[in-house]
Amino acid sequence: MKACFQTCNFMARERVLLITGKLAEFSLKRLMEQLRPELDFDFEIRVLGITVAALMHTGFVKRKLELDSDHGFDRAILTGWCQGDMESLAAEFGMPFELGPKDLADLPEYLTGAQKPAPDLSQYDIEMLAEINFAPRLTDHEILKQAESFRASGADIIDLGCVPGECWSGIGAVTRLLIAEGFRVSVDSFDQAEVETAVRAGAELVLSCNSTNLQWASRLPVELVAIPDSPRDFASLELTVTALTERNVQFRIDPILEPIGFGFAESLARYYEARRIWPDAAIMMGIGNLTELTDVDTAGVNFILAAVCQELRVHSVLTTEVINWAQSAVAEFDVARRLVKHSLDSGVLPKHLDNRLVMLRDPKLNELGPESLQKLASNIRDPNYRIFVEAGEIHIMNRDSYWQGTDPFEWLNQVAGQTKPLDASHAFYLGYELSKAVTALHLGKQYTQDEGLHWGLLSFPDPVAVEQRHVGREE
């Protein structure tokens, strides 16, 4: 009997306390009942005297939560929005308190442990050169500022783009300045004096070398980029590669990626051919001919080109950020090269790994559903407006009304004569939130009141974040 008791005691299920506010009570109870068969613990839900769980603070929980000394709970879970010291609650109630997810829709993954471990995206093997275009026409400060931005976005080498037909007398000083700040430098020029000055100052790579400058460029003590005399003259590239090989010069090969409409597919085929002919050679691709010369957002373009490079073992790219739509191209390619490296090495699809390149629309939408919205609206007892975007409509509700539609001005016309005027700050707040809601509605994005919209890599802190505005306002 003693052994049986010990075994039964060992197998006792964990008891978990979930703490919420009045408005989330219905949705949380329904969700937990749906989850019950999957859970390896027992649970109880306590609703504290606060309308919105996101406004809770640990001080409020300490005052309002009533538990017997022998409550029997193993741990408690609060909404991820709750502010304050969790340790103080643990000391007060004799069990650990933890913050769950901020969004109720993420609770199943949190409780069941079904969320996959984050992939290791720290590895990549495509080196990225970021070109500062028309560098001779910029001040030293402007060049350094742009280089710092490129480095922060993931660039490995700063490429000084020179102006054809001009010889930049200051290239040596700028190269030394960049190297003193910890940058690796390449020079993009066919001017002999310009290139030799940059190399003497510490530039480690020269773009580019073909039959027109082979004689003097091959004598430089640095790596060269071998290119064809013209993009479609692959035979000239073979001659340059042969000459550099015979002269024992370090080089990488760039068959030249051409823009769409000017031989793009054929140029991709030349990269494939280069890899076939030179299976062990270093190859580079200049991707700006697509990102800069195509009227399309650059994230998807960068990802596809990164995939091509990874599969063909093209281990360096040259990119830039000149045109406005390419202003995040360097950071995008940094994410892309990590994703494709992980995908190929692990033999997995590049899906559900990292959503930073999903910017226009969101990876998934979390919705309460019509029943929960109706229940929520019927339980509101205060004049504060709650805003949701679901099923192709905006939903606005408080204790006095529940409106749904696609045009917030219709809501404004409806409530204008029925409620007292809002003060300026509240009116501004509602206008700001409804503007986000309309954007989310039409772009298919997740809208959560008091949170910023998610823009992937380009996301930014929302100025009305709930932790900045609401903590302690309601008790």
Read off the CATH number of the domain in which 153 is found: 3.20.20.20
Q: Domain for residue 385, yes or no?
A: yes
Residue 231: what are its φ and ψ, rounded to 5°?
Answer: -50, -35
pLDDT at residue 5 is higher than 70:
no
With cut-offs at 50, 70 and 90, classify the pLDDT of residue 104.
confident
Whole domain around residue 279: which residue ranges?
Answer: 127-346
Indicate whether 214 and 338 sit together in one domain: yes
Domain edge (last residue) among 289, 314, 346: 346
Question: Who wins on pLDDT, 313 or 375?
Answer: 313
With cut-offs at 50, 70 and 90, classify the pLDDT of residue 465.
low
Question: Who wins on pLDDT, 60 or 51?
Answer: 60
Write down the pLDDT at residue 44: 94
With cut-offs at 50, 70 and 90, classify the pLDDT of residue 30.
confident
Domain total of the chain: 3
Indicate whether 384 and 239 sit together in one domain: no
Give yes or no for a cis peptide into 189 (omega within 30° of 0): no
Domain edge (last residue) among 55, 80, 112: 112
Indicate whether 174 and 240 sit together in one domain: yes
> Look-up: residue for tokens 């001005």?
409
Q: How many residues does the structure list for the chain? A: 475
Indicate whether 295 and 184 sit together in one domain: yes
Indicate whether 311 and 216 sit together in one domain: yes
Q: Domain for residue 4, yes or no?
A: no
Q: Domain for residue 1, yes or no?
A: no
Indicate whether 401 and 336 sit together in one domain: no
Write down the pLDDT at residue 201: 98
Q: Domain for residue 117, yes or no?
A: no
User: What is the average per-residue pLDDT within 347-364?
Assistant: 92
Domain edge (last residue) among 78, 112, 146: 112
> Look-up: residue for tokens 């922060």?
152
Write down the pLDDT at residue 254: 98
Rounded CA-CA distance 446/53 in Å is 20
Indicate whether 307 and 391 sit together in one domain: no
User: What residues have CB less than 8 Å from 439, skipping those under 6 apart?
Assistant: 445, 453
Rounded CA-CA distance 53/63 in Å is 15
With cut-offs at 50, 70 and 90, classify the pLDDT of residue 368.
confident
Q: Domain for residue 201, yes or no?
A: yes
Q: Domain for residue 351, yes or no?
A: no
Indicate whether 62 and 172 sit together in one domain: no
Q: Domain for residue 355, yes or no?
A: no
Q: Domain for residue 363, yes or no?
A: no
Indicate whether 194 and 306 sit together in one domain: yes
Provide the CATH number for the domain around residue 66: 3.40.50
Q: Read off the tokens for 242.
A: 């042969």
Write down the pLDDT at residue 115: 55
Indicate whether 135 and 275 sit together in one domain: yes
pLDDT tens, position by position, 146-169: 999 999 999 999 999 999 999 999
With cut-offs at 50, 70 and 90, classify the pLDDT of residue 371.
confident
Indicate whether 381 and 334 sit together in one domain: no
pLDDT at residue 266 is higher than 90:
yes
Indicate whether 183 and 321 sit together in one domain: yes
Write down the pLDDT at residue 4: 47
